[in-house]
Structure 1
Amino acid sequence: MQALMLRALGIGLALFSTLLAAAPTPPGVRAELDGLFAELQRQQCKLYRNGSWHEAAQARQHMLRKLAYLEERGTVQSAEQFIEQAATKSSTSGKPYEVQCGQAPAQPSRTWLLAALAAQRKARAASAP
């Protein structure tokens, strides 16, 4: 009986710690990520992953799923963390992602996302009072 109670307590603590680890992304970071996902769509960029190209809306949905996956495991502390951990390669195959916008040549998703993030931050800083 005591062993069963200890086991139940252990399971309860494990579930509780899992709930504590899962946390939403801070609002400022989430705003930056939403801006990146919107820019993917605004520029009608395609995302190359696991051997095929995906249109902008699909790319955005895929990135949102990856963000949700990371949030289930803890808080995403920065846009750079999300890019490095989830937006540069397939977690299944390990193959790198590429982004192609319009007629521009394809480039590694890391390169495109970091450049778009820098542009977003520069524009926000320029418009700040």
Structure 2
Amino acid sequence: MTNRSMNLKEKIILIVEDIESNHLLIEKSLSKKGLQTLWATDGLTAVSLCCEFDNIDLVLMDLRLPKMDGYEATRQIRKCRKDLPIIAQTAYVMPYEKAKVLEAGCNDLITKPFRADDIINIVMKYI
């Protein structure tokens, strides 16, 4: 086992996704790389988890969520975790969307539907 593989097993990715099938697809892709995952189904829970637990290494944030959307959840997370990588994920991409996502505090954007390799590549870029 390489040092990189051992380090990945220590990484925790928070998947913020209200659709279970989407969550399971992402979780399966990440677990194949040895990454640990947590799941939040709404923005409020995501904010609570990120602000309470400093061992979360990256957030995959859906933008359309119940209780609090991904934009506002990202803004709130930035108040307590300024350096936490947050990757927005959405199926609704308009030309202005990436600028809006970055303005909210996300580091990057991935569009749905995505392949398993796409999600792995973007996560590996930030952890």
Shared fold (TM-score greater than 0.5)? no
Q: Normalized per residue, which structure has more strand? A: 2
The TM-score, its normalising length taken from structure 1, stands at 0.27
Larger radius of gyration, structure 1 or 2? Answer: 1
